[in-house]
Structure 1
Amino acid sequence: MIKKINVLFCLFVISIVLLSCSGFEKVLKSKDYNYKYKKGLEYFKKGDHYRYTAIFEQLVPIYSGTLRADTVQYYYALGNYNQGDYILAGHYFDTFRKTYPRSVFTEEAEYMYAYCFYESSPRPELDQENTLSAIAAFSEYISKYPNSDKKNDVSKFLNELKDKLVEKSYLSAKLYYNVSEYKAAIVALKNSLRDFPNSKYREEQLFLIVKSAYTLADNSVRTKQKERYQSTIDEYYTFIGEYPQSEYAKEAKKMYEASMKFLGN
């Protein structure tokens, strides 16, 4: 008896799905564009992103140049976003904001254009082109809409994105140290500190400059050691001047003393 009920229930579910699919196919094939438009909005309200996106994709060229053009284009862009295609969605939101600068959807499209870059911003160790694009787009948005109710969110996103750039710079510079390219490490670490002077990694970076300078000197030919040990001492003074109580102070002092000893001081 239970088995029979389960079979009947499965058949019922399958029939509902088939009817639903046939209904959707009917909408897609319909030449009644007003009907199709209304069904697209119905699917949107139900959260059926695939179906309403497919419908509005068909309607974009149909309603081009009409009073509904901006609405159709906006929902199509939103549909791509809701399906997780942030690159394509960002493209359509960008097209929308440039094509319809006075639409009721323009402010939201400007925000979503930036947010799509935010969503596609990768981990710090990867290329940060989308992170930079997100920062530029959010900055443009907040400049245009300084009183937006999203300004606090935008501020939070901007801080998060900028922190990612700081971390990317830090990781890229530290990589030279990790692979024993000490001369390049010193240059990269200093460039990173120049670009991001308030980096949360500043203390460690200054210490790594000292350590890189010392290791470079220690492994140099005799004719270059004097200059490089002196550079180690200079970098130590910079480091200890800023962070006298650093957790790295003890190790840094040993390198400083070894450098002084070599120079006969």
Structure 2
Amino acid sequence: MIGEESLQDLALKRKSMGLTQADLAAKCLVSVNTIKKWEHRKGTIKKEDILRYAKVLEVDPMQIIDPDHVFKHYSDRRDTETLRRVPTINAITDICMDLEPRRVENMYRFGNGQLEEQNQTKVTYKALEQNVQKYDLKINGVIRSDRDIEFFPENKKHTEEFYGILPDDYGYAMKVRGNHLYPLIRDNQRAFLKRAYAWSLFSGNFVIVKNKKGSFRIMQFRSNHKSIYLLPIDRADEKINEHQKRFLMKPEEEILFVIKLSGY
């Protein structure tokens, strides 16, 4: 049995909202006698009645189900106040309304990823299979080698069927021809290019660099916190030392894209 203080909770809540038992009964689609039983914690309440009752009283259903607080309630969460200060669902919706459909999908996948990480979701075959989707992917160019990179003009771009996971915020999808970049990229694989920004580069990233002549090259971005290096693909595994000074990034070179591979 619950204490007398808990017995009064529901009645006090009703009265604080200016409702009589008859008013509440009408809103909950039950009899006044049923409301009396509920307020005295007698009888049973169906799931749909609990939800309707809690909605009318503007309380967490757990306050009705578990007045003794045997189980944790949503309101017990330490981060409840923090959640109230973060952008609301409406604010997130407003942002999505201004985004391109592909970027909205990226936000959704990012949110799902955050939830999986928070819940420490196990990576099983079923989980992997559920993430695979079919896309009509626009191909923006072709990569034949680290020095042979072609960006198609608008009239040459085409779409191909793609099954897998698209990286977030990619800008271009490139088709790879040949195994000159193996094991980084295999023949017939898609390489996704993400616009490079100074704040988002990490040592070890493979990038597309534009030189003063306007030609493109795939290189590895490396940093030892003193100097910035752009290493050729065939030197990517080497440690930074005095012999690599010739690979120091030159003022006229520009890093355009970071290469991201598709998810399985």
TM bracket (short chain)? under 0.3
- TM-score by structure 2 length? 0.27
The structure whose RCO (Cα within 8 Å, separation 6+) is larger is 2
Which structure shows the higher helix fraction?
Answer: 1
